[in-house]
Structure 1
Amino acid sequence: MNNNDILRRIRYTFDFSDSKMMELFASAGQQVTRAEVSDWLKKEDDPEVKELDDEHLAGFLNGLINDRRGKKEGPQPEPEKRLNNNIILRKLKIALNLKDEDMLDILALANFRLSKHELSAFFRNPNQSQYRQCKDQILRNFLHGMQLKYRGKDS
């Protein structure tokens, strides 16, 4: 999945306005303009679309965590320079204050079955033998399940 698609899906799920999107970026220390947000949210076939880099998506997800859970005391975490689906899934889990069962329920809403052991493998240290790479299909189904849970079935 590309970063722009992830940003679009999260915005749609929570019905964020452009102002709210800019506020989430700012919460993580990234100043972005309404034009930048607009360019990132355009469809892939639009000639005006701009690619959202990993660092900006990480900043947005950190801002979502701050918005949903409150800012941590002390210095804010630096946004990652490189993201993968495992990190994105972890940040969504933290932002939405989800337990493993909640995440499995969200995946089930999208008719995607996963065991608790398979899910926990995504959150392990990459050097551990049980670590598994989160595939696009799993992240896509999780984002779809989030949409069904937080926005409703008729969306």
Structure 2
Amino acid sequence: MNNNDRLLRLRYAVDIKDQDLIKAFELGGMTMTREDVKAMLTKEKETQPDENNVYLKPINNQVIDSFLNGFITLKRGPQKNKPEIELAPKSKEIKHINNVLLKKLKIALFLTSDDMLTIFAEAGVYPSKAELGAILRKEGHRNFKPCGDKYMRNFLKGLGICYREGDNR
């Protein structure tokens, strides 16, 4: 699963409109146009048989991280005690983007660990509380566990079920 897939599935799951996507990118420190957003969410028509999900404009980890930072600000509002997000690029490479995505969605959507377990259960996946805690830990912690694409896909699927069937947290 690539970052374009993650953004597309997240957009569907919580029903993010184009204007909100653009605003989240702006709040995260990136300028995007409607055409840029459409290109990020549109698959190429002519792809090789061995290539799956090739998009017109691929997204790297820093772009999705900037979007998630802006999404948090969009959903929760700016922090009162802290200045705006620094626009300087991070020198640290993001290795486990699925872990970052889960953590930031938890923050943006005001989710508790129990809410997240319920969302996983909606998709038919039942991680333990300890396993979820390991996924949400900081990379480098001795109990850190990388989140695989299967968990990410199922979380976004469960999120869509919860949000689209009237739960609307």
TM over 0.5: yes
CA–CA distance in structure 2, aligned partners of residues 125 and 101 of structure 1:
19
Check the 8 A contact 2:24/2:71 in 1, yes or no: yes
Counterpart in 1 of 2:4? Answer: 4
The residue type paired with residue 82 of structure 1 is I
In the alignment, structure 1 segments of 5+ residues that lack a partner are none
Q: Which stretch has the larger CA shift, 27-36 or 137-146?
A: 27-36
The residue type paired with residue 76 of structure 1 is I
The residue type paired with residue 87 of structure 1 is V
| Corresponding residue to 1:64 among 52, 68, 71 | 71
| Corresponding residue to 1:96 among 96, 109, 121 | 109
State the shift of 1:29 in Å. Answer: 1.9
DSSP-derived class of the 2:136 partner: coil
State the shift of 1:108 in Å. Answer: 0.3
Counterpart in 2 of 1:54? Answer: 61
In the alignment, structure 2 segments of 5+ residues that lack a partner are 48-54
**1:136 corresponds to 2:144:** no
Structure-2 change in CA distance of 1:55 and 1:128 (3 Å):
closer
Counterpart in 2 of 1:29? Answer: 29
The residue type paired with residue 120 of structure 1 is G
State the shift of 1:53 in Å. Answer: 1.5
Q: Deviations over 1:8-60 (max 9, x none)?
A: 11111222222221111111221111111000001354676210121111111
Q: Which stretch has the larger CA shift, 137-146 or 6-15?
A: 6-15
**1:82 corresponds to 2:94:** yes
For these two proteins, the number of residue pairs brought into alignment is: 153
CA–CA distance in structure 2, aligned partners of residues 114 and 18 of structure 1:
33
CA–CA distance in structure 1, aligned partners of residues 44 and 148 of structure 2:
21
CA–CA distance in structure 1, aligned partners of residues 145 and 77 of structure 2:
30
Structure-2 change in CA distance of 1:133 and 1:27 (3 Å):
same
Counterpart in 1 of 2:50? Answer: none
CA–CA distance in structure 2, aligned partners of residues 69 and 123 of structure 1:
20
Structure-2 change in CA distance of 1:148 and 1:132 (3 Å):
same
CA–CA distance in structure 1, aligned partners of residues 86 and 115 of structure 2:
25
Q: What is the alpha-carbon root mean square deviation over aligned residues?
A: 2.0
DSSP-derived class of the 1:122 partner: helix
Structure-2 change in CA distance of 1:89 and 1:44 (3 Å):
farther
Identity, % of aligned pairs?
Answer: 39
